[in-house]
Amino acid sequence: MPPGQRFVNGWPVSHYGPVPRFRPERWNLRVFGATASGDTHEWTFDDLTGLPRTSVVADLHCASGPTSTGHEWYGIPAATVLDLVPPAPDVTHVMAWAEYGYSANLRLADLTSPQTLMATHHNGEPLTAEHGFPLRLVVPHLFGYKGPKWLRGIEYMTADRRGFWEERGYHNLADPWKAQRYSYQEDDSDQDLSGRSRS
């Protein structure tokens, strides 16, 4: 258990704002920003069925303290996005965009981790609307706010830029094992001015 966390049973619902209504005819997933080609790529909901899938069993850590264990996530490895839509050589970070303009910034290495995936299912069942259907970014090695529900886009970035919670006082890196909850804990040992990790 990471420091300062407490075990909770079940899977509490936690999010900011209302639960969006899924409209398959309007839904897409966009990859944009500093792509190698300069183009934007889009997948419809039906397009996702042709992408590779994998399962990951991992815990979920909330920055406010609860940890729930043994979640089985099933979905598309996030690294698949980089294979299909390569980033420009100088890309160091991504911004994950969700419904209603919610965002979370990640280092490129966080997105390409073998544990990171764009989940469609949880414990063998499709995600519920409250838990992020149709697509939820899961980044198990970071606090939960780095994994937005209702994922709609991946933006490639050549420099770091804070996301929704990071702009509101939460830690830019969000490693639960280092108890990186709040921005006041950040120091120069975490990252240099370009946003690249020193470790």
Longest dimension (CA), the chain: 46
Is the distance from CB of 72 to CB of 124 less than 8 angstroms?
yes
What is the C-alpha to C-alpha distance for residues 130 and 11, in angstroms, rounded to an integer? 11
**Token pair of 68 as six digits:** 């729930």
Which of the 8 DSSP states describes residue 63? Answer: T
What is the C-alpha to C-alpha distance for residues 119 and 75, in angstroms, rounded to an integer? 4
pTM for the full model?
0.90
What confidence tens digit (pLDDT) does each residue in 135-193 have?
A: 999 999 999 999 999 999 999 999 999 999 999 999 999 999 999 999 999 987 665 43
What is the C-alpha to C-alpha distance for residues 82 and 106, in angstroms, rounded to an integer? 14
Find the angle CA(34)-CA(19)-CA(14) to the nearest 5 degrees. Answer: 90
Is the distance from CB of 5 to CB of 65 less than 8 angstroms?
yes
**Token pair of 91 as six digits:** 């890309």
What's the pLDDT at 11?
A: 75
Range 116-143 average pLDDT: 96
